[in-house]
């Protein structure tokens, strides 16, 4: 039986790249995202792979339940859940940040991930199989100016994943946190609210990670023997590293 893979935020970036790689492996795909036209184009691209798509904003709880309840019965018994939907908004210091942006990041990166996970987790436990992959960020561990709430939401993802592992001890379920560093997707376009010049400047004269790099890693995470759990994995491009601690001198 082919594995059933559910990917949130599947219309672009890491999510779309994962869909392509798992389609090549013959998996059944359930792809959800806010942009239906993008999903439809991806579904056509992946043909003849068995793909189910649905428009979904993970911050809308009633819509979330309606979408997942309407899936074909077999698609509710997913083998791999990739919680990829997430975003960063703004790069202002905390005292200047837009609170609505903060709330959107919390609603998407934390609450949305919780709702999706809680919907499918009981079935996984009942079947005693499944793998949850939560996409965090290096910002969860390594703060930077302007990353305040975004980094905090991704730190939540890391800690929630650890808590899941603790709760699921004694089952065959696996939980992994993947924390990418600089990657060239639509991430910066969203962060800078479609200011293309600012977004492009992030990647000037560097070779960042690509969406396919991350998808390849996720496929590998899913391929290790069933008794092996990759607890967490942090990945950066070679061009990215840490700097010295910041010191302000009077």
Residues carrying an active site annotation: 150
DSSP string, the chain: ---EEEEESTTSHHHHHHHHHHHHTT-EEEEEES-HHHHHHHHHHHTTS-EEEEE--TT-HHHHHHHHHTS-GGGGS-SEEEE----------GGGS-HHHHHHHIIIIIIIHHHHHHHHHHHHHHHT--EEEEE--GGGTS--TT-HHHHHHHHHHHHHHHHHHHHTBTBS-EEEEEEE-SB-SSHHHHHTTT-HHHHHHTTTT---B-HHHHHHHHHHHHHS-TT----EEEE--TT----PPP----
Omega prior to 48 cis, within 30 of 0: yes
Query: How far is residue 174's CA from residue 221's CA, in Å, rounded to a whole number?
Result: 10
* Structure tokens given for 101: 């942006």
């Amino acid at each position: 039986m082919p594995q059933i893979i559910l990917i949130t935020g599947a219309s672009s970036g890491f999510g779309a790249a994962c869909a392509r790689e798992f389609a090549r492996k013959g998996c059944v795909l359930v792809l959800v995202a806010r942009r239906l036209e993008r999903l439809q184009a991806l579904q056509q691209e992946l043909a003849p792979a068995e793909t189910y798509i649905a428009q979904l904003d993970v911050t809308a709880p009633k819509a979330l339940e309606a979408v997942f309840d309407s899936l074909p019965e077999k698609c509710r018994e997913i083998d791999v859940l990739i919680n990829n939907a997430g975003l960063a908004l703004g790069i202002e210091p905390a005292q200047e940040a837009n609170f609505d942006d903060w709330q959107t990041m919390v609603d998407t990166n934390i609450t949305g991930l919780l709702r999706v996970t809680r919907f499918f987790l009981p079935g996984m436990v009942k079947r005693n199989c499944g793998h949850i992959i939560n996409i965090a960020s290096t910002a969860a561990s390594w703060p930077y100016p302007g990353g305040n709430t975004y980094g905090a939401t991704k730190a939540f993802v890391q800690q929630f994943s650890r808590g899941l592992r603790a709760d699921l001890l004694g089952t065959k379920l696996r939980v992994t946190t993947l924390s990418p560093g600089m990657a060239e997707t639509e991430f910066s376009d969203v962060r800078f609210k479609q200011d293309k010049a600012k977004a492009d400047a992030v990647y000037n004269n560097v070779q960042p990670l690509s969406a396919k790099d991350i998808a390849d890693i996720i496929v590998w995470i899913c391929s290790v023997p069933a008794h092996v759990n990759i607890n967490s994995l942090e990945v950066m491009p070679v061009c990215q590293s840490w700097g010295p601690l910041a010191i302000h001198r009077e």
